[in-house]
Amino acid sequence: MYGEASLFRDYALTDAELRSGAQGALRPGQVDEYDEQGYLVLPGLLDCDDLAPVRAAMMMKVDLIADQLMAAGRITDPLAGDPFETRLARLFEGLSAEDFVTFTGRSWRDRLTGYFELMSNPKILDVVESLIGPEIFANPVYNVRPKVPRVAAGEVPWHQDKSYWPDARSNPVVTVWVAVVDATVENGCLRMIPRTHQEAVAGFHFETYSGTAYLEMDDAAVAPLKARARLVPLGAGGAIVFNDRFIHSSGPNASEHIRWSVDLRYQPTDQDPMPQYGTGFLARSRVHPERVASLDDWCAGRPEAGVGGT
Ligand SMILES: O=C(O)CCC(=O)C(=O)O
């Protein structure tokens, strides 16, 4: 693999440059904590109104999956009246792990209004602005995660996000992980290893037990660090911020309900937009506010208002 020390030296801005002119929502002590620990927990960042659009988008997707299961003759009742917290899990009761991977998969990246609204939420962008300044690009890699009880694909092995995009000339990529329902120890909250945010990308491989081939850090690299790991339970609407070198994982869901979450990513606008990974968009700009992408731009594959498109 490669060492971070040689990565993008010519490309990455210094921390001071990134923050020049930054305003944002975080207090200096919180920024210091992020710098020192490599992650920051923000309980209650979002309220019910902020989460409503993303919950609606998730429910729309569950409707679609129920329709597909019905059409394939795998179920006879779409459970349309079941609650958000349990419906997807109940749809797969009696079906196999392979069915789950085929019809649901481990995460979703549909271009739906609710996800755009979450990615563009000013409370989230204010946090990101505190860390990287006001020119903010929403990275194409975001994941809507339905962590369903007793499904192996829900358990995420130890990894660094950057192992998923080793070729990308983006540094930093900042993750904002949002709990859409309460994330608890029982339902598989995140597990974080503090102060790993400046690590080089360690050796990794595709795991073979979830059916979805997550990238997993080699045991030799992560084993010595595991004693420092912390479980980070978080109420719905809370967020955890970390960068793409930070080592993290999440446990299995041993509860009776789905642990819904979304992980979003952001970077400064002068970084590689990583188009080979999907469609990102200009989420905030003080310099070019007229170029900030609308929902229509994003849906049309335009990363900026009126520019590009598929
Ligand atoms: O939500 C999870 O369980 C894992 C999240 C994750 O690995 C990430 O956000 O990079």
Identify the residue whose C-alpha is closest to ligand 1 atom 9.
263
User: What is the number of the ligand 1 atom nearest to the C-alpha of 177?
Assistant: 9
Identify the residue whose C-alpha is closest to ligand 1 atom 8.
263
Closest by Cα among 279, 277, 278, 307 to 292: 307
* Exposed / middle / buried, residue 93 (Cβ in 10 Å: 0-12, 13-18, 19+): exposed
User: What is the number of the ligand 1 atom nearest to the C-alpha of 145?
Assistant: 1
With beta carbons less than 8 A apart as the criterion, state whether 87 and 62 touch: yes
Instruction: Tell how far the Cα of 206 is from the centroid of ligand 1, in angstroms.
Output: 16
CATH of range 13-48+107-299; options 1.10.287.1080, 1.10.1270.20, 3.10.20.30, 2.60.120.620? 2.60.120.620
For residue 21, the model assigns a pLDDT of 47
Domain parsing of the chain, residue ranges:
13-48+107-299
C-beta of 161 in contact with ligand 1 (< 6 A): yes
For residue 9, the model assigns a pLDDT of 33
Closest by Cα among 140, 153, 68 to 109: 140
pTM attached to this predicted model:
0.91
Name the β-bridge partners of 163: none
For residue 24, the model assigns a pLDDT of 66
DSSP E strand stretches across 171-238: 174-179, 190-192, 204-206, 215-217, 230-232
One digit per residue, pLDDT tens: the chain, 310 residues? 222 332 333 334 445 545 544 556 899 999 999 999 999 999 999 999 999 999 999 999 999 999 999 999 999 999 999 999 999 999 999 899 889 999 999 899 999 999 999 999 999 999 999 999 999 999 999 999 999 998 888 889 999 999 999 999 998 899 999 999 999 999 999 999 999 999 889 999 999 988 888 999 999 999 999 999 999 999 999 999 999 999 999 999 999 999 999 999 999 999 999 999 999 999 999 999 999 999 999 999 999 997 776 6
